[in-house]
């Protein structure tokens, strides 16, 4: 197996708390940003800017921002859940429901759950991360003839993957925080970090070192024979 494929397979999301007082070395952070710099982007627009937040007071300011779970998230998230490792292994897609509170994985009135749930703060999401990367993009630009700027968003995903693989190689934990791009949260983050109005937040990432060794959840993927089609759709005899 090639080294790059091994790194790809070992890449994972670290949702456990990080050590607040164990900073990411500058030279390691620069390698992660260098990996982002070389990500492929549509028409080489390089349509992204990355705000590195490692000042403790700024991290505290971000941590004080409140967010609420949305009804849409609860409903759509439920569709992706498996309720046992056996079910997940059989489906080969989605995630384990045990990752979420009981009210999030029980069919019912999602509107009521969303309305009655207590707001959380971003500190509960950042969880001690000593470094947060906020990835933004210029909403005034898009790839040529790309309805909805699909190619632009794919480019932002390439930036994420490049940084993630480099962090994996360096032994630095990596966790994508999509809550930063939520409407109300995004506006508060932009105020704190003085991000121009025309710039939008794609996602944020926390980097660091886990306080304890996280358990290894079951990871599933479809087999190549299930996703590869040979010469025409439906012809699954590629391998």
Question: How does strand 95-96 pair with strand 49-53?
Answer: unpaired
Q: Give the total number of structural domains in the chain.
A: 1
Judge whether 196 lies within some domain. Answer: yes
Instruction: Please name the residues in contact with 204: beta carbons below 8 A apart, sequence gap of 6 or more.
Output: 132, 133, 134, 135, 176, 177, 180, 181, 189
Residue 101 falls within a domain, yes or no? no
Does 214 map to a domain?
Answer: no
> Among 156, 139, 133, 134, which residue's Cα sits nearest to residue 197?
139
Is there a domain that residue 223 lies in? no
Report yes or no on 119 lying in a domain.
no
List the beta bridge partners of residue 66. 121
Domain harbouring 164, CATH code: 3.40.109.10
Query: What domain range is 147 assigned to?
Result: 3-67+125-208
Tell me whether residue 95 is in a domain: no
List the chain residues with pLDDT less than 50.
none
Predicted local confidence at residue 108, as pLDDT? 82
In a domain, 107, yes or no: no
Asked whether residue 165 is assigned to any structural domain, the reply reads yes
**This prediction's pTM:** 0.93
């Amino acid at each position: 197996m090639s080294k790059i494929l091994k790194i790809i397979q070992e890449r994972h999301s670290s949702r456990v708390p990080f050590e607040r007082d164990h900073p990411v070395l500058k030279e390691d952070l620069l390698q992660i940003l260098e990996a982002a710099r070389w990500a492929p982007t549509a028409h080489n627009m390089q349509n992204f800017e990355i705000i590195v937040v490692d000042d403790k007071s700024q991290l505290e300011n971000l941590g004080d921002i409140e967010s609420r779970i949305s009804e849409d998230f609860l409903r759509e998230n439920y569709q992706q859940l498996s309720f046992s490792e056996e079910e997940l292994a059989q489906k080969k897609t989605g995630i384990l429901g045990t990752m979420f509170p009981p009210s999030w994985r029980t069919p019912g009135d999602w509107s009521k759950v969303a309305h009655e749930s207590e707001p959380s703060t971003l500190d509960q999401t950042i969880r001690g991360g000593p470094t947060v990367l906020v990835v933004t993009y210029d909403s005034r630009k898009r790839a040529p003839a790309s309805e909805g700027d699909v190619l632009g968003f794919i480019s932002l995903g390439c930036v994420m993957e490049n940084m993630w693989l480099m962090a994996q190689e360096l032994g630095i934990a990596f966790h994508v925080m999509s809550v930063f791009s939520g409407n109300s949260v995004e506006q508060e983050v932009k105020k704190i970090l003085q991000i121009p109005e025309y710039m939008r937040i794609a996602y944020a990432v926390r980097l660091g070192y886990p306080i304890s060794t996280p358990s290894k959840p079951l990871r599933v993927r479809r087999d190549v024979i299930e996703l590869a089609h040979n010469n025409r759709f439906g012809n699954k005899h590629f391998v």
